[in-house]
Amino acid sequence: MPEFLALVAGLSFGFTDYMAGIVGRRLKPLATNAFVGLGAFAVALPVALLSHAQLSWRDFNLSLAAGIFGTAGFLLFVYLMAHKKMSIVTPITSATNALTPIAYSFITGSRPHTIVSVGIVLAVVGIVLLSMAEDPNSAHDTKHAVSLSLLAGLGFGTLSILLHKTSTQSGLWPAAVINIPPLFFLPFVIKKSLAPKMNWVRIDLALGVVIGLVLFALTYALQHGNLAIVAALQNQYPITAVFCAYWWQHERLQPWQKVGFLCSLCAITIINVG
Of 125, 102, 121, 103, which is closest to residue 270 (Cα–Cα)? 121
Count how many Cα atoms sit within 13 Å of the Cα of residue 221 in the half-sphere of its side chain.
25
Stated pTM of the model: 0.84
Q: How many domains does the chain have?
A: 1
- Report DSSP state, residue 54: -
- CA 242 – CA 40 distance, rounded (Å): 24
Instruction: Report the alpha-carbon distance of residue 23 to residue 143 in Å, rounded.
Output: 25
Q: Is 233 helix (H, G, I), strand (E, B) or coil?
A: helix
Range of the domain at 106: 2-273
User: Tens place of pLDDT for every residue, the chain, 274 residues?
Assistant: 888 898 888 888 878 777 776 776 677 778 888 888 999 999 999 999 988 888 999 999 999 999 999 999 988 888 887 776 666 677 778 888 888 988 898 888 777 777 778 888 888 887 777 767 655 444 445 567 778 888 998 999 999 999 999 999 999 999 999 999 999 988 888 766 555 567 778 888 898 899 999 999 999 999 998 888 888 888 877 777 777 777 776 667 778 777 877 887 787 777 766 5
- Give the N- to C-terminal CA distance of the chain in Å, as an integer: 14
Q: Check if the beta carbon of residue 163 is closer than 8 Å to that of residue 222.
A: yes
